[in-house]
A = this chain, B = another copy of it.
Amino acid sequence: MRVKVFVTPRQGILDPQGRAVEGSLKSLGFKGVGSVRVGRYIVVDIDTPSKAEAATAVKQMCDQLLANPNIEDYRFEVDAE
Protein backbone atom coordinates (compact mmCIF):
# COMPACT_ATOMS: atom_id res chain seq x y z
CA MET A 1 0.00 0.00 0.00
CA ARG A 2 1.00 3.61 -0.43
CA VAL A 3 -0.06 5.96 2.32
CA LYS A 4 -0.01 9.73 1.96
CA VAL A 5 0.19 11.77 5.13
CA PHE A 6 -0.58 15.49 5.20
CA VAL A 7 0.77 17.35 8.23
CA THR A 8 -0.28 20.96 8.72
CA PRO A 9 0.32 23.58 11.39
CA ARG A 10 -2.68 23.53 13.73
CA GLN A 11 -5.24 26.30 13.35
CA GLY A 12 -4.29 29.28 15.50
CA ILE A 13 -0.68 28.18 15.76
CA LEU A 14 1.81 30.63 14.28
CA ASP A 15 3.11 29.49 10.89
CA PRO A 16 6.05 31.78 10.12
CA GLN A 17 6.92 29.78 7.06
CA GLY A 18 3.44 30.16 5.64
CA ARG A 19 3.53 33.88 6.31
CA ALA A 20 6.88 34.22 4.56
CA VAL A 21 5.65 32.36 1.48
CA GLU A 22 2.43 34.39 1.47
CA GLY A 23 4.43 37.62 1.53
CA SER A 24 6.73 36.43 -1.21
CA LEU A 25 3.88 35.33 -3.50
CA LYS A 26 2.22 38.70 -3.05
CA SER A 27 5.40 40.64 -3.81
CA LEU A 28 5.85 38.43 -6.88
CA GLY A 29 2.60 40.02 -8.01
CA PHE A 30 0.22 37.10 -7.67
CA LYS A 31 -3.31 38.46 -7.29
CA GLY A 32 -5.88 37.32 -4.77
CA VAL A 33 -3.47 35.33 -2.63
CA GLY A 34 -4.95 34.78 0.82
CA SER A 35 -3.49 32.80 3.69
CA VAL A 36 -0.77 30.25 2.99
CA ARG A 37 0.05 27.31 5.27
CA VAL A 38 3.17 25.23 4.84
CA GLY A 39 3.22 21.69 6.15
CA ARG A 40 4.77 18.32 5.35
CA TYR A 41 3.75 15.71 2.81
CA ILE A 42 4.94 12.24 3.71
CA VAL A 43 4.56 9.22 1.46
CA VAL A 44 4.98 5.86 3.16
CA ASP A 45 5.01 2.58 1.33
CA ILE A 46 3.79 -0.10 3.67
CA ASP A 47 3.21 -3.76 3.06
CA THR A 48 0.03 -4.80 4.85
CA PRO A 49 -2.68 -7.26 3.85
CA SER A 50 -5.52 -4.75 4.12
CA LYS A 51 -6.18 -1.04 3.80
CA ALA A 52 -7.69 -1.14 7.27
CA GLU A 53 -4.46 -2.42 8.80
CA ALA A 54 -2.43 0.14 6.89
CA ALA A 55 -4.72 2.83 8.29
CA THR A 56 -4.29 1.70 11.90
CA ALA A 57 -0.53 1.52 11.46
CA VAL A 58 -0.33 4.97 9.90
CA LYS A 59 -2.44 6.53 12.61
CA GLN A 60 0.05 5.24 15.16
CA MET A 61 2.97 6.46 13.04
CA CYS A 62 1.46 9.95 12.97
CA ASP A 63 0.76 10.04 16.69
CA GLN A 64 4.19 8.73 17.59
CA LEU A 65 6.48 10.29 15.01
CA LEU A 66 5.19 11.95 11.87
CA ALA A 67 3.25 14.80 13.45
CA ASN A 68 3.85 16.94 16.53
CA PRO A 69 0.60 16.81 18.51
CA ASN A 70 1.44 20.10 20.22
CA ILE A 71 1.35 22.20 17.09
CA GLU A 72 0.30 20.09 14.12
CA ASP A 73 -2.76 18.35 12.72
CA TYR A 74 -2.60 15.48 10.26
CA ARG A 75 -4.75 13.48 7.94
CA PHE A 76 -3.87 10.64 5.62
CA GLU A 77 -5.06 8.69 2.61
CA VAL A 78 -4.42 5.02 1.96
CA ASP A 79 -4.47 4.03 -1.67
CA ALA A 80 -3.83 0.46 -2.65
CA GLU A 81 -1.18 0.21 -5.35
Contact = CB atoms under 8 A, between A and B. Distances in A.
A8 B41 CA distance: 8
A60 interface: yes
A80 interface: no
Nearest to A5: B41
A43 B6 CA distance: 11
Interface residues of A, number: 32
A35 to B, nearest CB: 5
A71 B46 CA distance: 24
Nearest to A49: B32
Interface of A: 6-8, 21, 24-25, 28, 30-48, 57, 60-61, 64-66
